[in-house]
Amino acid sequence: MKETFNSRYVLFLAATAALGGLLFGFDIAIIAGAGPFLIRAFSLSDMGLGWAFSSLLFGCVLGSFIAGRFTGRYGRKKPLLLVGVLFAVTSIATASSTGFVSFVIARFLGGIAVGAVSLLSPMYAAEVSPPSVRGRVGTLYQMSIIVGILVSYAINYLLRNTGANNWRWMFLSGVVPSAVFLLFISIAPESPRFLAMTGKVREAFLLFERIGGTRSAQVQISEIAANMRNEAQSWRGLLRPGVRRALLVSAGLAILIHVSGINTVIDYAPSIFQSAGWKVDSALASTFLVGVTEFVFTIASFWMIDRFGRKPLYMVGSAGMSLSLLMLLLAVLAGRFHGVVVLALILTYLAFFASCIGPVFWTLVPEIFPNDVRGMAMTVPVLTQWVANAIVVLLFPFAFHVIGKSFTFGFLALMALAQGFFTWRMVPETRNKPLEEIEEHWNASQRVAPVESA
């Protein structure tokens, strides 16, 4: 029987969750265009620039941890309201910074909001979506992150010639999406799952009924009741041998996705293009091509992921990224690191990442965990990827300008290759497989050595 649902109401709820993703992408990427002007404003060294970029990411580590700890007590809506306020306040605080220390503190606090929304918005989206459109709602959230990045690149370019304080206007513009998000989340309902968990079963049922009808509401309430019984054992379940193996694999993927360089390209694209001989205006304009490429190939990934599977895409994407980075290394060694060559290779690298790695990572990682421990287990890859992201972004300017371009691109190429090899040896294919079968793979891997590829 085909599932029916209130499409307008579901669209409103999906848009509310997606706005959290837009704030995520906006705050992560807005500093990319501001970077060249921050160097002049604060007389930054390479390590100083690294701190300017990575301070938000270190805040993300704390934010995702706090959100994971308190969402069970305070729900989804109240923390998201607080996140919206924090986004707006830190946008103002960053824009009005009187010195580098106050700038870094403001960005760190903004990172708490980003880290929290990276956990809360997808959770809210999943819990208010009918099962038949849950994947599409999740896709909308992922796409909104890319839209946030694109919007920030466009704002960077439009404000580039507004004077010595142009970087302040760039950060201040974050108040606008924050206000829109606050408006939406203030009139949105609390998650029905949280309502049921806190004993408000009637309210949860009425909300589910409004979303998907009476039959769907009855099924969802029954599933929540069953899951609540299982979750009491969640932390103990993380110690099961098969789950431990899955945790190690998820942590490995979380580290490799960042040490293979994606956020260095997104954050430092203007600096990379400037080092290739581009003027500031042209470098900022080129970042928009970076955003468009990521947007287009992210759409392609949603067509390919269920057709070709997670593991093949991850291996092809890793090989393509490694080859692109190797070509950048060869361009440096041949003295041809300039102009259109660099732009074309960066866009090729991004195309492989956006179509084969980025969205696939966030689909694959939850799938490798059993139902009864997924919520708890996801804190491991989420926290790990934020830590890895922060460290890589911190060290990139020093590595790129002091140690050298050839070393930097060579290291990133090696890590992308390692990502492909790790996937081949350690990661099971999850496409069209019941979650119980995936868990059995991990249990079997404890008994059979070496690990068999699924």
**77-81, 88-92, 111-115, 447-451, range with the lowest pLDDT:** 447-451
pLDDT over 70 percentage in the chain: 88
Q: Is 5 within 8 Å of 211 (Cβ atoms)?
A: yes
pLDDT of residue 82: 95
**CA 98/CA 119 separation, integer angstroms:** 32
How far is it, in rounded angstroms, from Cα 430 to Cα 422? 16
Superfamily of domain 240-445: MFS general substrate transporter like domains (1.20.1250.20)
Least confident window among 204-218, 334-348, 398-412: 204-218
DSSP string, 189-256: PPPHHHHHHTT-HHHHHHHHHHHH-HHHHHHHHHHHHHHHHHHTTHHHHTTSHHHHHHHHHHHHHHHH
**pLDDT score for 216:** 78
28-42, 265-279, 318-332, range with greatest mean pLDDT:
318-332
**Mean pLDDT for the chain overall:** 85
% of the chain beyond a pLDDT of 90: 45
Most confident of 65-69, 354-358, 450-454: 354-358
Lowest mean pLDDT among 220-229, 322-331, 344-353: 220-229
CATH number of 1-188: 1.20.1250.20
Query: What pLDDT shows up at residue 14?
Result: 83
Which pLDDT does position 326 carry in this prediction? 97
Tokens of 409: 């691109």
Contact 437, 428 (CB under 8 A): no
First to last CA, the chain: 33
Residue 46 pLDDT exceeds 50: yes
Average pLDDT rounded to a whole number, residues 181-206: 89
User: What's the rounded Cα separation, in Å, for the pair 103 and 56?
Assistant: 10
Asked if the domains 1-188 and 240-445 are classified in one and the same CATH topology, the answer is: yes
- Per-domain boundaries in the chain: 1-188, 193-232, 240-445
Does residue 36 or residue 359 have the better pLDDT? 36
